[in-house]
Amino acid sequence: MAPAAVPPPPSQRLPRGRRYAVRTLLVLGTVVAIVSIVAVWANRQLLNADNWANTSTALLENQAIRTQVSGFLVDTVYANVDVSGELASALPARLKPLAGPAAGGLRNAAQSVTDTALGRPRVQQAWRNANKLAAERFIAIAEGNSKYVTLHGNTAYLDLRALLLDVVQRLGLSGRLAAKIPPGAGRVAIVSGNQVSAVQNVASALRGLAIVLPLAAFLLLAGAVATARGRRRETLRAVGWCLVLAGVVVLVAREVAGNRVVDSLVRTEAVVPAAHAAWSIGTSMLKDISWALILGAIPVIGAAWLAGATRPAVALRRGAAPWLREDPLVSYAVAGVLVLLVIAWGPIPATRMVVPVLVMIGLVALGVAALRRQTGREFPNATVADAQLAWHARYDRVRGALGDALHRRRTPPAPARTDGAAGNGAAAAPPGDGPASAERIALLERLAALHERGLLTDDELAAQKAALLHS
């Protein structure tokens, strides 16, 4: 007779000291994971010129922000050029009083023209280039590598002069007026000289924290799993939920902080939509990192559950054991197809990056290997033929149950007896079919063998025997 399936070892209750140690490591790991999300986001957003430029382009593509930028540019032109005086000098004497109203009307038209121009690819590319250049200079200052700004230097700017000159040209103003715009017009200060040291210290800290904090969170959570000897599956599942919690906390904090930042900085109601849009776009990478952590934690939770002792998990392992044991290439191929589907779906930006995808592939391969080892211990004699027979037996049972249910629904109830026979036990059960056939006995023996191998539960064996004996 084949040996019975080996059940997974039961969970043990940890000693009090170790239990509190595991909980402490989980809490610390969660807190560090929350801080590491912010550190990684700040490092990628502030110290990467391409990310900065991409974010700035997304900002300009937003209508509310574009309206505010066009207003800023037109206001800068009017602040540096006497448009009314220039119009008056060009008009006849009797029309000079109309120069003021004409300048006001031209101002409204200028903002509309500028807003339309800012939506065009060429202007947006100029905007992106200006932001990337400013980001590169800022990062060079922050890292102490700037060739143009030193510790005694002045200020790093976002230079929008090129856009100002484009606005003047689109308004049809003369080149002489454009020359009157001072070189410093349209520049937005990013960092001043007396802030350079502080910026460099912050940048250096961000570079280090973006590496140290995620590593520390991983070590703390891995330490919790290692400490929980006897309850490692449950602790691994708790680690997954801790990672989900960290991502959710950051997402909620992002929404709350956004409202408070906008309310504290914006004093004009008309600017509120642009401010909210700027916060949402500027912190979109923070949201992506949080969702990446949440979605990455789901397989951890699923793996811990699949390795557990719950009846559905054991049933899944029992059903997959023959293929995992006899066809490892098929098992890895199925896992590979699932990974490719996730990559093709691309639910988060990380699934479109080389390093995260390679990490995901490695973790999936390790998970399949661990599952093969576990099912090999639990169901050492499982075969594909036995599994197919078990699945056919389950299918027959479900089909029989559905057929019986449909038969009962279609068969009208028997009329009530009026001759008293119903009360005296006159009705007798139909006779049986007689002794079981040799084929039925062989099938019963086969089902018993499947039960001994762990491919059928007690309930499934009882149901199949009942179905055979009464068929």
CB 392 within 8 A of CB 20: no
Residues 6+ apart with CB under 8 A from 361: 336, 339
Question: Is residue 438 over pLDDT 50?
Answer: yes
Tens digit of each residue's pLDDT (9 = 90 or more) over 332-389:
898 899 889 988 888 777 788 888 888 889 989 988 898 888 888 888 887 777 777 7
Tens digit of each residue's pLDDT (9 = 90 or more) over 274-313:
888 888 998 999 999 999 899 889 989 998 998 888 888 8
Q: What percent of the chain has pLDDT over 90?
A: 16
Lowest-pLDDT choice from 115-129, 165-179, 387-401, 415-429: 415-429
DSSP annotation of 307: T
Collect contacts of 153-156 with beta carbons under 8 A, ≥24 apart.
Answer: 153/193, 153/196, 154/192, 154/193, 155/189, 155/190, 155/191, 155/192, 155/193, 156/189, 156/190, 156/191
How is the chain split into domains, by residue range? 15-35+214-284+292-308, 47-191
Measured CA to CA, the distance from residue 300 to residue 294 in angstroms comes to 10
Measured CA to CA, the distance from residue 242 to residue 27 in angstroms comes to 8
Q: Identify the pLDDT of residue 239.
A: 95
- Please count the other Cβ atoms lying within 10 Å of the Cβ belonging to residue 330: 11
In degrees and rounded to multiples of 5, residue 191 shows phi and psi of -150, 135
Q: Identify the pLDDT of residue 409.
A: 67
Measured CA to CA, the distance from residue 340 to residue 400 in angstroms comes to 38
Query: The pTM is what?
Result: 0.67
Alpha-carbon torsion 297, 302, 303, 305, what sign? positive
Residues 6+ apart with CB under 8 A from 442: none
Tens digit of each residue's pLDDT (9 = 90 or more) over 100-121:
777 777 777 878 888 888 888 8
CB 210 within 8 A of CB 43: yes
Closest among 287, 235, 245, 234 to 31, alpha carbons compared: 245
Question: Is residue 240 over pLDDT 80?
Answer: yes
